[in-house]
């Protein structure tokens, strides 16, 4: 049985008995989650794991992305009747996970406001509030445009071209929805989301890595 739910989980530390100085094992304790959701025995939970927060005592804590820019899953040991139900949804989960991961990257590079707007846009889109989602995707594109203008990413002509592109994209997305006396259907919402996500993906990755794209055509 598939259960989709957002819940806080505790990470339980389990040192390896074979060589604790070289290898460390972790397991996620879902006891409280199962109790909260009132799940009986032999139920399966589907979890999207994005980041790990490592606490280092007086040194504070650091957050790490799990398999950045990748999507991995393992169905070993899962009964076939569960596997055939869950596996077809893997491509959809990969798309959703990639979108959420971008919001995390925005927060890591100091663009928390844009991160929150992106999450809200995604929530509204996947809940069927298409016109509402367009508003937030537009805000993200506008924020990226302003960021590129105030803090150039590449230090070259590319910043100017990127700013022009984001300005045009913002103008176009602004034409979708009630405020422009037009209708924002699922087509406009999906287009706005794709434009927004592609811009975030391109800019945020370079800002996170600190490598100027103008000198290297590759994205880390």
Where do the domains of the chain lie? Answer: 97-209
The mean pLDDT of 34-58, rounded to a whole number, is 76
pLDDT in tens, 77-99: 888 888 888 888 788 777 777 78
- The pLDDT score that the predictor gives to residue 31 is 80
pLDDT of 37 > 90? The answer is: no
Alpha carbons 125 and 108: distance in angstroms, whole number: 24
12: β partners: 27
pLDDT of 166 > 60? The answer is: yes
Judge if pTM exceeds 0.75.
no
Q: For residues 85 and 43, is the Cβ–Cβ distance under 8 A? A: no
In b/e form, how buried is each residue of 84-117, taking b as 16+ CB within 10 angstroms? eebeeeeeeeeeebebebbbbbbbbbebeebbbb
Alpha carbons 74 and 206: distance in angstroms, whole number: 30
pLDDT in tens, 20-34: 444 566 677 778 878
pLDDT in tens, 139-154: 999 999 999 999 988 8
The secondary structure element, H or E, covering residue 55 is: strand 51-55
Higher pLDDT, residue 203 or 31: 203
51-55 and 61-65 beta bridge pairing:
antiparallel
Alpha carbons 2 and 31: distance in angstroms, whole number: 17
Q: For residues 91 and 73, is the Cβ–Cβ distance under 8 A? A: no
pLDDT of 128 > 70? The answer is: yes
* Distance (Å) of CA 133 to CA 150, 182, 202, 203, 217: 26, 15, 21, 21, 32
Alpha carbons 53 and 39: distance in angstroms, whole number: 27
Reported confidence tier of residue 181, pLDDT bands at 50, 70, 90: low
Percent of the residues in the chain that have a pLDDT greater than 70, as a whole number: 75
């Amino acid at each position: 049985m598939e259960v989709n739910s957002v819940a806080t989980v505790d990470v339980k530390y389990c040192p390896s008995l074979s060589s604790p100085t070289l290898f460390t094992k972790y397991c996620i304790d879902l006891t409280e989650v199962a109790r909260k959701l009132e799940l009986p025995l032999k139920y399966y939970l589907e979890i999207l794991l994005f980041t790990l927060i490592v606490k280092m005592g007086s040194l504070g804590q650091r957050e790490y992305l799990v398999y950045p820019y990748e999507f991995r899953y393992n169905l070993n040991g899962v009964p076939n009747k569960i596997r055939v139900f869950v596996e077809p949804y893997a491509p959809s989960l990969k798309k959703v996970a990639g979108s959420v991961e971008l919001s995390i990257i925005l927060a890591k590079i100091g663009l928390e406001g844009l991160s929150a707007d992106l999450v809200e846009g995604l929530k509204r889109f996947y809940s069927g509030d298409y016109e509402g989602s367009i508003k937030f995707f537009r805000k993200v594109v506008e924020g990226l445009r302003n960021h590129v203008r105030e803090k150039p990413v590449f230090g070259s002509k590319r910043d100017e071209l990127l700013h022009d592109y984001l300005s045009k994209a913002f103008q176009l997305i602004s034409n979708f929805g009630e405020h422009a006396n037009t209708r924002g259907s699922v087509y406009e919402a999906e287009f706005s989301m794709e434009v927004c996500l592609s811009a975030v993906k391109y800019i945020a990755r370079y800002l996170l890595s600190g490598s100027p794209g103008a000198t290297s055509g590759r994205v880390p």
